[in-house]
Amino acid sequence: MTERTLTVVIPALNEEEGIAHTINAIPRAEIEKVGYGTQVLVVDNGSRDRTAELAAKEGADVISEPVRGYGSTLKKGFQAAGGEVIVTADADGTYPLDAIPVILEQFDREQLDFLTTNRFAALDKGAMSIQNRQGNALLALETRILFGLRMRDPESGMWMFRKSILPGLRLNSNSWPLSHEIKIEACYYARCRWKEAPIRYSHRIGQTKLLNGWKVGFTDMLHIAKKRVVR
């Protein structure tokens, strides 16, 4: 019997085109070989399409978060997760869920508390706009200047952590900055043992929910800069 559980938390807002593909890409048997059972937890953020229905049909646990936002949706998932270890990914086929066994094995072997991923290691052609790439480079620079953290991709939506670190993290954002904020909280303020692992990043299935990239990036930059002064 597998004693440990990994919870895959997937935030989803109107992702009926990608949700089944995303769930089916999770390599449960390979994860079992690393010593973990798998819980798939889809957090539906008020989708008006068949996202929740399709997720349940594919065998995921489905919960809903009424407060709109990437951050509030993920935080709901973290609280509800049954596993000792949590990993996140979008519901759109961009993140390589087949890489979970490899990063989970590294997570255990190196006794990490937090493992984040670097999409720039293998970025599929056209998977990310130039504007988005430039914004990410600026956010990485900010992370290095303000916190001394050498993190190439602080906005990556795929990261893994021990659930037990959550009470020590102050996660204030209900929106996009949550992704950057959790890395600053874990790797800087909570002084977790962390690493950044290379991953592949692919084309999205379905429509993006990121409407104004520059505005999102600027809001993120301010949120993180403020955090350097008042946590």
Contact set with ligand GTP (CB under 6 A)? 11-13, 15, 45, 68-70, 73, 90-92, 94, 157, 204, 208-210
Which residue lies nearer to Mg ion by CB, 18 or 101?
18
Write the CB contacts of 31 (distance below 8 Å, at least 6 apart in sequence).
6, 37, 38, 100, 101, 104
Which residue(s) pair with 122 in the sheet? 200
Minimum CB separation of residue 164 from ligand GTP in Å reads 25
Give least dist CB 32 to ligand GTP, A. 25
Identified binder of Mg ion from the candidate list 15, 17, 90, 155, rule CB under 5 A: 90
Q: What angle do helix axes 130-147 and 213-229 make, rounded to 10 degrees?
A: 0
Q: Which amino acid is at 29?
A: A
DSSP string, 8-27: EEEEESS-TTTHHHHHHTS-
* Helix and strand numbers, DSSP H then E, in the chain: 8, 7
Looking at the Cβ atoms of 92 and 113, the one nearer to ligand GTP is 92
Tokens at 82, concatenated: 């049954």
CB of 89 to ligand GTP, least distance (A): 8
Of 15 and 185, CB closest to ligand GTP: 15
- Would you give the end-to-end CA distance of the chain in angstroms? 42
Which one of residues 14, 94, 136, 143 is an interface residue with Mg ion (CB under 5 A)? Answer: 94
With H, G, I as helix, E, B as strand and everything else as coil, classify residue 216: helix
Question: For Mg ion, which stretch binds (CB under 5 A), given 57-65, 67-75, 83-91, 105-113?
Answer: 83-91
92 binds Mg ion (CB under 5 A): yes
Footprint on this chain of Mg ion (rule: CB under 5 A): 90, 92, 94
